[in-house]
Chains A and B, each alone.
Chain A
């Protein structure tokens, strides 16, 4: 009986250790984030409350909160999209070009993929190369829950069809340094000038 109990305790210990391991992984992620981000408070309207884990196209695990401290221009897309995504990304590039150099240097451009299966970090990296996106761009891959949660918070609708393509809202969101939604451009027709003005105001 004693041996049995011991074994049982050992099994429990192992489980606890695994939990510890997991915890230390996340501490590491947040330590990196602390070092890079300016101390901007996270309000109860901040997207940086979300604790979902993402992976960038370099294979690094990141939390959305790692974007804290600067204006962010963000859109959801998928790399194999042949319809609106190229226009959406092109619009973000135009927005970027429209910014004064100082504001541009302070702003991050983020693309989050709907396609949790095909848009692996490696696929996103290939997309970065193909689209000539420089270091001011962050490309994120997440699991289905993380993608759904973010889409819900941004008000992005999306749906995968039988061919694996996604129908989705074309929405460019501007976040302030604290991760609150400061501006949204809906659809492909709206002017980008307004979004650019919102970024410039935030970058001051």
Chain B
């Protein structure tokens, strides 16, 4: 009986797996690496936020999602095609570098990161491949590692590279995703290629308004008590926090893409 049960479970599993296989198509998916459990030190926090936020171990794509991968997604999910997407879920200009609904063209090389995708579209893609978007804490945990150690802040060369990106305009078309130098965890292109969506970008509570971006808008936000910044010298982290706070979920931006994450089976 036990064996029979096992068999039937295996049978169902196989069916499930073949379903996923059919979805995957011929496009190679990004490898994932495990980012071990650690801490995220938020740059900006309210008086009741933790100074160090524990991050459980998770899996992260080693590179951003490419145009070719996203094309496979819109092929199978017509409602996410450029001509059909709801204006609620993506602003005008969605997949604007592509030559057509199902055609990439010269401005969107297959291996380059997909950009001009909304948060809704990125989230739908992640769910389609059985993954999810990383949280701010997870994403920041990954970029906090340097090239050779888990502590990027102690590596001058790494810090210099993070800064250097802000001084360099984005090339067009964008280079291939995954061509950057791997960090300590084996993750590439967290900096230097495109900005990336995170699941909870809307927790960045500073206002996007340039005249008021030094803190919280006290009328707009509840619980807007004191706010304290962590490492004041971490300019790239300020840039990311500011960028995230300026976004809305339907926005499509020329150099904003995303990568996927996955919880480990034993994590909550």
Contacts and interface: CB of A to CB of B under 8 A. Distances in A.
A8 B7 CA distance: 8
Interface string B209-247: 000000001011111100000000000000000000100
A47 interface: yes
Give chain A's interface secondary structure class. mixed
Interface in A148-185: 148, 151-153, 155-159, 161-163, 165-170
Contacts of B15: 12
B75 interface: no
Of listed A45, A88, A167, A187, residue having the most chain B CB within 10 A: A167
Interface in A70-88: 81, 83-85, 88
A166 B223 contact: yes
B248 A155 contact: yes
A189 interface: yes
Contacts of A8: 7-8, 11-12
Contacts of B112: none
Secondary structure type dominating chain B contacts:
loop
Indicate the member of A44, A84, A157, A162 with the most B CB atoms within 10 Å.
Answer: A157
Contact of A169 (B86, B119, B220): B220
Contacts of B199: 148
Interface residues of B, number: 34
A159 B203 contact: yes
A56 B221 CA distance: 26
B139 to A, nearest CB: 15
Interface of A: 3-4, 7-8, 10-12, 15, 44-47, 49, 81, 83-85, 88, 148, 151-153, 155-159, 161-163, 165-170, 186-189
List 5 tightest A-B contacts by C-beta distance, closest first. Answer: A84-B222, A152-B249, A187-B219, A159-B203, A161-B48
Given A7-B5, A167-B46, 8 more contacts: A4-B4, A11-B8, A12-B15, A83-B222, A84-B222, A158-B202, A161-B49, A162-B49
